[in-house]
């Protein structure tokens, strides 16, 4: 098993606003909490978590289709996080729902059952986050047909 260290640097700019540096070749991303804590100048940490889960699921689904030389593009993913208080009264992400939309109808794709049955287990971020936060995953085709729920 090969292990890789990922490093990200956050530098406070003002109050709850941080510049996020991934490495020298990527542009800096600014994050910020929404009002009243911050000014909402950038995505919040919860929004970044949703983006990471949705991006990883989209990548895994695309990779799974491409293994069979299929083209489901363009993909779209919506991720919703329910934020609320836990038993100790602290704010937490209680659950997430990710809905992936294929850019084509299911009838145009081969290996449908196989891809839908395995793509999410290869998603590093979702499998890791899912150990602490329940994540529901749905996949719909371009016609709105629910393929996985």
CA–CA distance, 146 with 106 (Å, rounded to integer) = 10
DSSP, res 119: G
Output the pTM of the full model: 0.94
Q: Are 76 and 54 in the same domain?
A: yes
Residues 6+ apart with CB under 8 A from 3: none
Residue 89 shares a structural domain with residue 105 = yes
Domain co-membership, 33 together with 81: no
Number of residues that this document lists for the chain: 149
Count up the domains in the chain and report the number: 2
Cis peptide before 36 (omega within 30 of 0): yes
The tokens describing 116, both together, are 């839908």
Tens digit of each residue's pLDDT (9 = 90 or more) over 48-66 = 999 999 999 999 999 999 9
Task: Say whether both 2 and 33 belong to one domain.
Answer: yes
Distance CA 117, CA 8 (A): 33
Asked if 33 and 58 sit in the same domain, the reply is no
Range of the domain at 90: 45-148
The 10s digit of each residue's pLDDT in 92-103 is 999 999 999 999
35 and 84 co-located in one domain: no
On whether both 28 and 75 belong to a single domain, the answer is no
């Amino acid at each position: 098993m090969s292990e890789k260290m990922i490093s990200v640097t956050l530098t406070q700019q003002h109050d709850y606003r941080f510049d996020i540096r991934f490495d020298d070749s990527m542009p800096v991303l600014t994050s910020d909490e929404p009002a009243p804590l911050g000014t909402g100048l950038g995505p919040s940490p919860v929004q970044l978590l949703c983006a990471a889960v949705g991006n990883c699921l989209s990548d895994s689904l695309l990779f799974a289709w491409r293994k069979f030389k299929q083209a489901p593009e363009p993909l779209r993913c919506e991720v919703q996080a329910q934020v609320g208080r836990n038993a100790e009264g602290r704010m937490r992400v209680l659950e997430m729902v990710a809905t992936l939309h294929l850019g084509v109808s299911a009838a145009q794709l081969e290996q449908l059952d196989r891809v839908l049955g395995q793509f999410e287990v290869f998603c590093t971020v979702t499998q890791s986050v899912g150990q602490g936060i329940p994540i529901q995953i749905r996949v719909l085709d371009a016609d709105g047909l629910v393929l996985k729920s």
